[in-house]
Amino acid sequence: MRSRKTSALAFVAVAFALCVIASAAALAVTGYEVYAVQPGDTLAALAQRFGVEARAIADFNGIAPDAALVPGQSLSIPTGPDAANPKAQEKFSTEEKQAADVAATELSVEPAVQARNGPVVGYLGIAVENTSALLDPRRKERLCAISRGTNLCVSCQYGDYWGIMMSDGAVAWVPKPAVDVQHVELVAGIEVPAGGNGCPEAIQAAFRYYGLPYLYGGTPPGPTDCSGLVQAVFRDCGMALPRTAAAQFMAGYAVPLDQLAVGDRLYFVNSDGYIGHAGLYIGNGQFIHASSRRGYVGIDSLRSGFYRSRLAGARRP
């Protein structure tokens, strides 16, 4: 699969989808705990009870510092160690590189490829027999049926299975003998909506760095790490951000994870609970980031067990 022939099609995907991105309650998030407001609670009282600043609780939840709390209201209370650990990003990059999560399997395409209309995300595959798409090849959970002749986007592989990209960006798994992979590259048709609550211009800027090599401590236009990428993207958009992921996490305002918009900044913790990674949400449960595991700026899914369990929160702009 090394041919440089590029498909004129924007993006070929299976005509079925997994569920949309899970709500905040369904994501296993490290770095805060959810608290149900009780009668008489105030931000000041909660700050004293949990040992954090009232402003930190307000900013984390995207509410005003003097907001009145309503009984039954859910608040996310920041917890864990101080986020400003200077080695946090380095530790996360090591853990990311060693992650064995199936949904984070390496892409089969060469990372530096940049077609005219967007990044190459996979190869055209044609189902040569009736088969089943699996949610996870290790557990053999059947997701849905695939008919012979169906066009697929083959984006990665795991053992005896091809990973096929679904229409919502998730990955399903099909036995290799059931798919004939063509030497035709598929280009991501990333539609960036105008307006909205997010920062779509940031995604347009981010894709200019697609395929840039990963380097801890680096920043574009050369090899870059995660926070260097995010800082450069927003600098290109005329906005200043701090250099490290932990400092960036304190900038802007919190966005509930079930209300993510294109261009929102995503932050992840390492196994010690420190903020150690950053990326940008591109929609459909996917994000673009400088990945030590991939070794370049690429796209991954929030459905990946590793990233889902490490997602600490989102910030806007």
In terms of DSSP bridges, do strands 265-269 and 253-255 run parallel, antiparallel, or are they unpaired?
A: unpaired
Angstrom distances, CA of residue 264 to CA of 153, 162, 277: 26, 31, 14
d(CA 58, CA 52): 11
Name residues whose C-beta falls within 8 Å of residue 4's C-beta, 6 or more positions apart in sequence.
185
Crossing angle of helices 43-50 and 54-61, rounded to 10°: 110
User: Does the annotation mark 183 as catalytic?
Assistant: no
What are 127's strand-pairing partners? 179
Question: Could you tell me which residues come within 8 angstroms of residue 23 by beta carbon, excluding any fewer than 6 positions away?
Answer: 257, 258
Q: How far apart are CA 33 and CA 77, in angstroms?
A: 5
Output the CA torsion sign for 224, 99, 279, 116.
Answer: positive
The span from the CA of 278 to the CA of 83, in Å, is 13
Angle in degrees, 0-180, between the axes of helices 226-236 and 88-98, rounded to the nearest 10:
110
277 carries an active-site annotation:
yes
- The catalytic residue among 153, 199, 226, 237 is 226
Residues tagged active-site: 226, 277, 289
